[in-house]
A and B are shown apart, each in its own frame.
Chain A
Amino acid sequence: MASLPKRIIKETERLVSDPVPGITAEPHEDNLRYFQVTIEGPQQSPYENGVFNLELFLPDDYPMEAPKVRFLTKIYHPNIDKLGRICLDVLKTNWSPALQIRTVLLSVQALLASPNPNDPLANDVAEDWIKDEEGAIKTAREWTEAYASKKDQKSTN
């Protein structure tokens, strides 16, 4: 494999030495562009007390191209689909090379705190969200309990 760009080395170092609260990101040993990520559900959101597993990959063109990020834990959210794909501007059109892995993960965390059913990726979820927000939030809570509870994480990892 080609040597890792300095930029990636620096970002990785900083993620370890100065971690973002509620977020972890560790590169896989056999692929240093491939990160195992966890994000804690933000407080006062239906995802509170949940720990979500994600994967992140830095493509060849990074940082000119945005990192690729996907949820591995099932989550009930209007902007995240069944396969864990995320609809977020900074991952697509609003990516800038001045952004970093940490800023992207913070944006994902912020997305958990403020779902946007008007710009959905998971259409059925968004529909529920608009029709019956209370019910949708309840479902999101239940899913968090069922798939993302901290105990569960320990046993699977």
Chain B
Amino acid sequence: MTSVQSEDNSSLIYGDDFDDDDESIDLYESQTTATCSMGDTACHKLNSLVSQESEFDFDEDQFSGNESDDELLVDPMTLSKKALDDDKGGSSLKYECLTTQDILDRMLKRVHHLQPVFSIPSEDILVLMQRYDWNEERLLEEWTEKMDELLVEAGINTSNPGDKLNITMRGIKHRSDFNCFICCEVRSTETFSLECGHEYCIECYRRYISDRLNEGNVITCMDCALALKNEDIDAIMGTPSSARLMDSSIKSFIQKHNRNYKWCPYADCKCIIHLNDTSYLQEYTRLHCSRFVTCKFSHIFCFGCGYGMHAPADCNVTMAWVKKARKESENLNWVLSHTKECPKCSVNIEKNGGCNHMVCSSCKYEFCWICSGEWGPHGRSFFQCTMYKNDDEKQKASVENSKKALKRYTFYYRVFNEHEVSAKLDWKLGQTVGQKVKAMQEKMGVSWIEGQFLAESLQILNEGRTVLKWSFAVAFYSDASHNLTKIFVDNQMLLSNAVEQLSELLQIKNPETTMKRKSEFYNKAGYVRNRTRALIECGRDLLRKCICKPVD
């Protein structure tokens, strides 16, 4: 945007053009070990999550058998593997899960800590920190260079309190017949002004502030650069509204440091993952691995691209897929509804659980939600509704290539989508699991620990579904004629069957039946877990051998 000085520029406001694209400097790097604000239990929990997650994704050797470390040394991957390994890699791999409040608390601690250096009120330092996007080092540097200028620029009042002639008292006043320059109304009202004397009625000030609370910038006087402090804002608004400003300021801080801070992408989750050292992320990319992190609420997402868990796809496949889906949906109508007609009696059926084994409530016909085919063969291992069958090819050799490509994409997109919907429904199902466990505890005297197999099964089911879902993106970009792709498709099918069976078990409503079939849960869940890992492994092979190549 262009800023020009007009002749009447007395009221032009100075822009705060802080371009903060330079190295993100961690404010409390030195401090994290000393003051871990999260408390020991939380830290411990995080560590356990970290190791759990590493087992889930990138233990290269996990699957190909349990070689010892010595054997691994022979592997050409060893070096990178070492660097990637959580347990041995050391502190560079640690991450923490924070909220904006956690970050703000740290900032406030820093402000308190810095107070002796600046020897100005803490509230003023807070304004300075905001101006410098919470970049303490840059602030300190410039503070030593040009203290006075900086204070003026940041809108901090520098006039001497003893010099009473030129200064208006900062704060709220009561006035009769006040003529507000903003609304031009004349009436008895409360007013507010800073030391600059630009005094406006409280209502104009309230409207002015409330528009700006979410923008994350220091709010200044309407007519000059003098800054409002948090206490001013709260006094004017009559409520502790400055908290909102602080929150939006921290949000913009995260935005500007998005290499080290990532929002959990799950809807309504307010967690932020902070990764101190991102230098090794490149190595992940090279190996087609992804740095999956887990927030406090067990949401797994990729630190590299910010999307939810997307194994076996790597970030490149994920981005290509997401981009394509976005592009295609612009051109075409991909609205895949949640209802389908029963293939037999055409009654409308709504899918209300993750399981794809559908039974029509009207005619009892059993069919597969994904391919609309009869369910019968799905339970058996040879059936493949996960594979795109190119029937048309033989019938019409001259089918337009683009149409075919589109049709191919439609297929993969549809399956991907179905699994996404299923995953969401499973998640909903999971929320009832807690109640189920409770019911079991109350009715059958089952201990809490004993009931946890349900939660675990659900977690495994979710992971399996997610991996299955993303495997279709990998399949889409893979050379279908290659043998390894065929193996991949076989693996998809195995996982698909395993997932459906586990999903079906979880639909059981009766607590007694659930308890009776506990061992089945263990078996199926274990199987899903194994199949999930196998598919991830196989997918990574496809990527490593360049059989899966994301294009456009």
Annotate B404-441 by CB proximity to A: 1 below 8 A, 0 otherwise: 00000000000000000000000000000000000000
Closest A residue, CB atoms, query B180:
A7
Annotate A45-78 by CB proximity to B: 1 below 8 A, 0 otherwise: 0000000000000000001110000000000000
Known: A6-B184, A96-B13, A99-B11. A106 touches B6 (CB 8 A): yes
Within 8 Å by CB of B12, from A90, A97, A116, lies: A90
Give the chain B neighbours of A119 by CB distance below 8 A: 1-2
Closest A residue, CB atoms, query B224:
A98
Annotate B157-188 by CB proximity to A: 1 below 8 A, 0 otherwise: 00000000000000000000000011111000
In the complex, which residues 72-94 of chain A have their Cβ closer than 8 Å to any Cβ of chain B? 79, 87-90, 92-94
Give the chain A neighbours of B185 by CB distance below 8 A: 6
A106 B7 Cβ-Cβ under 8 A:
yes
A7 B182 Cβ-Cβ under 8 A:
yes
Annotate A107-141 by CB proximity to B: 1 below 8 A, 0 otherwise: 10111011010010000000000000000000000
Annotate B5-31 by CB proximity to A: 1 below 8 A, 0 otherwise: 111110111010000000000000000
B184 A7 Cβ-Cβ under 8 A:
yes
Known: A97-B222, A98-B198, A103-B12. A7 touches B2 (CB 8 A): no
Give the chain B neighbours of A7 by CB distance below 8 A: 182-184
For residue A10, CB closer than 8 A to chain B, the reply is yes
Question: Interface range on chain B: under 10, 10 to 19, 20 to 34, or 35 or more?
Answer: 20 to 34
B328 to chain A, nearest CB (A): 28
Closest B residue, CB atoms, query A105:
B6
B6 A103 Cβ-Cβ under 8 A:
yes
Closest B residue, CB atoms, query A5:
B183
How long is the Cα–Cα vector from A9 to B181 in the complex, in angstroms? 13
For residue B397, CB closer than 8 A to chain A, the reply is no
Interface centre among B6, B182, B198 (most CB of A within 10 A): B6
Interface centre among B184, B207, B208, B223 (most CB of A within 10 A): B184
Give the chain A neighbours of B5 by CB distance below 8 A: 110
Give the chain A neighbours of B12 by CB distance below 8 A: 90, 94, 99, 103, 107
B208 A97 Cβ-Cβ under 8 A:
yes
How long is the Cα–Cα vector from A85 to B494 in the complex, in angstroms? 58
A10 to chain B, nearest CB (A): 5
Within 8 Å by CB of A94, from B15, B184, B208, lies: B15
Interface residues of B (CB under 8 A from A): 1-9, 11-13, 15, 181-185, 198, 204, 207-208, 211, 222-223
Kindly list the 10 A-B residue pairs having the minimum CB-CB distance in the complex, ordered from nearest.
Answer: A106-B6, A98-B223, A6-B184, A110-B4, A7-B184, A116-B2, A89-B1, A98-B222, A107-B6, A89-B3
6 cross-chain CB contacts under 8 A: A6-B184, A63-B182, A64-B211, A99-B12, A103-B11, A107-B6
Apart from the given pairs A63-B183, A96-B223, A98-B181, 7 other A-B contacts in the complex at a CB distance below 8 Å: A89-B1, A93-B15, A94-B13, A96-B13, A96-B222, A98-B223, A100-B11
